[in-house]
Structure 1
Amino acid sequence: MSLLLFILLELVLRFSSISGSVSSSNELKPRKLAGGDPLCPLDFDKLREMVKKSSSGLEFLDVPTECHSFLDSIRIVRSEYLRSTGFFTIPPNASEACWHSFQILVNEYLTVFDVRSNCDVQTGWISDSCINISTRAEFEALIPESELQEVKRSCNQSLGGSSACEPCVASLSSIQEAYFRGPEIGNVSDCAAYPFMYAAAFVNQFGPTDFGTAKCLFSLNLTLAVKNINKHDVVVRGIVTGCILGFLGAVPVVWFLWRWHKRRRKKKEALAKIATRSALRLGLIGESTTLVKFTIEELKEAARNFSRENLIGLGGYGNVYRGVLADGSEVALKRFKNCSASGDADFKHEVEVIASVRHVNLVALRGYCTATVPLEGHQRIIVCDLMHNGSLHDHLFGSGTEKLSWPIRRKIALGTAHGLAYLHNGAQPAIIHRDVKASNILLDETFEPKLADFGLAKFTPDGLSHLSTRVAGTLGYVAPEYALYGQLTERSDVYSFGVVLLELLSGKKAVIAVDNGKASLLTDWAWSLVREGRALDVIEEGMPELGPPELMEKYVLVSVLSAHPLLHARPTMEQIAMLFETDLAMVPSIPDFPLSILTKADDIERSVTCTGSGSTLSSINQQPFYFTSSHSVLDHEEDEEISLVNGVLKDLL
């Protein structure tokens, strides 16, 4: 009889321990624990619930493994305590009580295992602080905000899978290595676990007791137990499923046919509504932009029927006309060549995306037009603000123009760098210009530069993509890895910018025709001067109002580095803008033995594929590359220059 009473009492105690877990509050109060000591503030019931929900439970493997598991499980409870109170450590006088409470939990599964003696852990391990860090505020004051943001970015998600866990652990390990190099995991202090306890408490949205968080941050591998389905549930589900199948089988075939015809009719109606809404949306392009859809009649009137008197530029993709709208504002109209109506939807979408990219150094789109005109074919036209100072190409190479002063050249260089940096890093998605050149840098009344034609190079004749079997670009500006192999990154724009900057500083064109009938690149000429220590000889003679020699030399070196044939040697546009924004003569180092575009193809290919060269957006079949003119201004010398470079490339390949 006494044995029966003892068994009943044991069952009651077990049941009460399962159902008696206490939820944490903002201020954790001392609780009466199983050991009879009210001083321990750690809630081991949360750990007890995790173990009970697990299908694996606690099974003895070996002493080292069990010690690691027990200490990691204590860190989970301490992380919960940190989450509730903001303290990493408990009061020192509570250490003994908390070890006693944890020992009771362990003995529920391993009756003869003593944690402190077997794991050689001192009593103060659970309460001693690490490098005098004991609160959340002290931890966050120690770690730079940028590193905390990286932890939030990588750890605030479900950490059950390895793809999510690995970057989180990497960022926390980096903090641990840099700031918590105190005693390692052992019997004295718990420094190494501080970043992980912090992330589980305040960064991860699921908290320390989430099974995925516990596995990732504390190496505690618990899996949720799958509830068994009893026979009664199986029978009920089988009956319900059988009834449903029987009912469906009893429905007449005619009813199915009727439903099929009804659905087909509704689908057609829905598609018609979607098409109507899409047409309306594209016709009034977005409330998020100020774009206007002009009629072809409005633009013909603005540009005097696209007369030759209004023609201000020719390009590979289309011609540019000056126009005056009905409200009196002056605009530039770019009229694309060889278009078809089949690509209008994509064209309108791209125009909307480009119009949403706003920056002081980017030309703003005002509107567009798509129309089919008898005898003239399908028309696609974009409308932009007219830049009264023309293009940089006009001022550098136009006849009868005054030479630009150093302050204006510096302003143009800095503004262009800011515009490209915004396209690469500020726009969403990022945009690679692909055709940076002097004629695509327009100047307003104050000589503020504005990049034109960004994002529009893909609208080539016959709808060919810019990343096609024929590389798009302009003579002398195309990066070697893009010209020869079609491999395109943001640093392809950096190369083109470097060439434009050399033109701006020297007043010379990107490709120079020499007396022996061969082509010479401006980049090669500039490199030869820099290697000889004559960087200032690159500056154009007769430039009015020169700048400080050390500052001009810095601009020359940045231009040479930007136009380096090795892709990974070039800086980013953000780095270039930062160099330009300071008057300090910070001179970047240029790698030895720079390659030319006229070097061996094998050397350039090794440069493209080397580690750290940047991600490649596209790859095309390797084939000889021939330049085609896409200048947006009239230039009668360019055909001769194209023939010279094409001849060199034929000999090379």
Structure 2
Amino acid sequence: MLFLRRIAVVFFVFTSFSAAQNSTCPLDFSVLEPFRRPKPDGATTCQYLLQGLRLLYSHHLRQTGSFLPPPESAASCWAALQSSVAGFLPRFDVRSTCGFQTPWISQGCMDITTRSQFESLIPNSSLATTAMRCNTSLESNTPCASCTQSLSAFQPYLSGPSLGNVSDCASFPSIYAAAFANSLGPTDKGTAKCLFQLDLASPTSSGANKVKVLVSSFSVLLVASVLVITAWFWYCRRKKSKLLKPRDTSLEAGTQSRLDSMSESTTLVKFSFDEIKKATNNFSRHNIIGRGGYGNVFKGALPDGTQVAFKRFKNCSAGGDANFAHEVEVIASIRHVNLLALRGYCTATTPYEGHQRIIVCDLVSNDEEGQPVSVADWAWSLVREGQTLDVVEDGMPEKGPPEVLEKYVLIAVLCSHPQLHARPTMDQVVKMLESNEFTVIAIPQRPIPLVACREEIDRSVSSSSGSGKLTSPTGYQAFSFGGDGPSGNTNTT
């Protein structure tokens, strides 16, 4: 009898273990079918799988209220993922190639598993801001930047360790926002692109693709044959006529060396991603000195001890690296009191972080003394704070009416605007100065600096929600340009 009981216990344990091992994965992998599939290379494929898993987490959270699948279903979830990619990557092993471990798919940030646990850690004000900014279509850049900027306020409350970058604390805000803050859901085209960097695949059929390939191949072959025959006849006739004269290669050499000469004219350094990770202590959150919708700013030290700032951009792709490098070279060749000196940049693609673009600037403290300050920036800051008359020197004799002085200050600020198209012509300035009625000019907002901090971007976004322009605090009507002179309502209040 005792022997039979032991056999029954062993059978029960074995059955329970087998059931746990074969637990069905609750993630719906068919959600990923409409999205564009990556090319078969390690870096982009692992990034696609990582972002795809996060989109699946968000869809699962929206359906069930739970962030992650249960631990007993980890093996079956990996098997389901492997099966879903086998159609376009038949010899690609997900876990061994990307370095994922089996338990990671069911482990998350700070042991958070449900929506209520997540919301209990975040202030209600931050949740409300995210719900307001993210509850719209995120296809265009402006609402996407506003939404992702609001999510950066969640990070100080999610300080747990990272577990393989599959469902780490940095990804939980996007997973939550796509599930609940955005009414369109994580599978929406704009939401998937903005929060998970996933694009929908083109709807063309396979038959149409085959026809296009055949037509393109025939056209290329025909053109190549004509070119080869033409080149052969031209070569034969040229060989019979006379020897070729030496070519003047000075113009070609000059064209090829333009970009090289620009690099030589600047001291710009192209840093490796590992060098920047070491300088910022692996992008530690303690090194963050600025947050924004387009990326964070980290402080760090170069090997020689120089303190610098690293601007790490978000949502980058490798397609625009050439233009990015050229623009950085141009900016580095300019010296101006209002521009920080650029030391270098970095463009790289990593298996876990994806494509990276980083610029390295001199670090300038806000309280650093002896730094040159532009008079135009100083006047702009006073006008922006509603202290227009503080620009005028106190000891100036015969100042005149305050309305006239305020008008002169606003005209001066408008004439010194950093964007050329926002400045008036001399004829327009003369007409404004000669006008007997006190009108106030609507001044366009200045562009956000390259290393803008979170407060500057917040201020720009809040101001753009109104008129988007800077006006006088005294209540005068705005003065606008039309044709070759000023026009508009010139009545005063």
The TM tier, using the shorter chain, reads 0.3 to 0.5
Greater RCO (CA < 8 Å, at least 6 residues apart):
2
TM-score normalised per structure 2 = 0.40
Q: Which has the larger radius of gyration?
A: 1
TM-score (norm 1): 0.31
